[in-house]
């Protein structure tokens, strides 16, 4: 079981939903390996804390892994040998990847470089993530999201949207083809409008992403 200190670090420092981790580790196939995975998480956190205490500062020009990354990756490699051939290995790798990103450049890297295919710890932003280009957005932003109709039916929307309908189309109908839960008949593109002051992050290149406070959504339609 994760300590209270580790739970606080995960939720407060990393903005990761503890429920997303607990739900994953509670899966029947992972229960025999839960202690191994929780021990790995604790080690990852200690590595990041030790790195921070040492005064490490991220340098965007450096291609070298951070000290915390080195420890995280080495520990994961050793544990991978123990868990080889088990259901726990993909989960360990997702955890390693997430904590390694955070070790390198904090929440910015953890959020912007997260995996969209397969399980990944759910990151929930509750404050502005910088740097961003929110100032370049119009006062009222039109946004799109490619997702499953179940999300709309439950009104439980994800935070990541896009200003480009074409990008939402790719997420709705292309990116997740081949995933077990993918059913093309249930895929949709959603549309909403929201004042830009309710945006936590924006990057109007690549996927033209805007991350929003979903509690401020007033109306969503299927397009």
Is 125 a domain residue?
Answer: no
Are residues 142 and 85 part of one domain?
A: no
Q: What would the pLDDT profile of 52-106 be if each residue is shown by its tens digit?
A: 999 998 987 778 899 999 999 999 999 999 999 999 999 999 999 999 999 999 9
34 and 106 belong to one structural domain = yes
Percentage of the chain modeled with pLDDT above 70: 100
Q: How many residues does the chain have?
A: 223
The average confidence (pLDDT) of the chain is 95
**Is 209 part of any domain?**
yes
Residue-wise pLDDT tens digits, 157-192: 999 999 999 999 999 999 888 787 889 999 999 999
State the average pLDDT over residues 109-113. 94
Would you state the pLDDT for residue 156? 95
On whether residue 121 sits in a domain, the answer given is no
Predicted local distance difference test score (pLDDT) of residue 62? 77
Same domain as 61, residue 139: no
Domains identified in the chain, total number: 2
- Higher-pLDDT residue of 140 and 179 is 140
How far apart, in whole angstroms, are the C-alpha atoms of residue 51 and residue 3? 20
Q: Does one domain contain both 95 and 22? A: yes
End-to-end alpha carbon distance in the chain: 44
CA 25, 102, 108, 216 torsion-angle sign: positive
Residue ending a domain, among 79, 112, 145, is: 112
Domain span at residue 105 reads 4-112
Q: How far apart are CA 191 and CA 188, in angstroms?
A: 10
Phi-psi region of 138 (alpha: psi -120 to 50; beta: other; left: phi over 0): beta
Is residue 89 situated within a structural domain?
A: yes
State whether 103 and 139 are in the same domain.
Answer: no
Examine the domain organization and report whether 23 and 101 are in the same domain.
yes
């Amino acid at each position: 079981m994760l300590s209270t200190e580790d739970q606080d670090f995960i939720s407060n420092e990393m903005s990761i939903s503890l429920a997303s981790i607990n739900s994953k580790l509670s899966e029947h196939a992972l229960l025999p390996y839960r202690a191994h995975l929780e021990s790995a998480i604790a080690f990852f956190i200690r590595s990041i804390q030790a790195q921070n205490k040492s005064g490490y500062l991220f340098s965007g020009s450096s291609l070298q892994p951070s000290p915390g990354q080195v420890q995280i990756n080495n520990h994961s490699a050793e544990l991978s040998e123990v868990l080889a051939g088990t259901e726990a290995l993909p989960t360990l790798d997702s955890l390693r990847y997430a904590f390694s990103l955070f070790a390198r450049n904090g929440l910015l890297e953890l959020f912007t470089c997260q995996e969209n295919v397969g399980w990944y710890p759910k990151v929930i932003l509750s404050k502005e993530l910088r740097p961003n280009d929110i100032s370049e957005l119009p006062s009222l932003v039109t946004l799109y999201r490619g997702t499953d109709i179940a999300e709309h039916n439950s009104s439980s929307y994800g935070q990541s949207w896009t200003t480009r309908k074409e990008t939402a189309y790719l997420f709705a109908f292309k990116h997740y083809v081949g995933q077990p839960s993918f059913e093309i008949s249930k895929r949709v593109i959603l549309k909403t409008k929201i004042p830009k002051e309710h945006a936590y992050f924006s990057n109007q290149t690549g996927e033209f992403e805007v991350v929003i406070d979903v509690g401020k959504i007033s109306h969503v339609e299927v397009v």
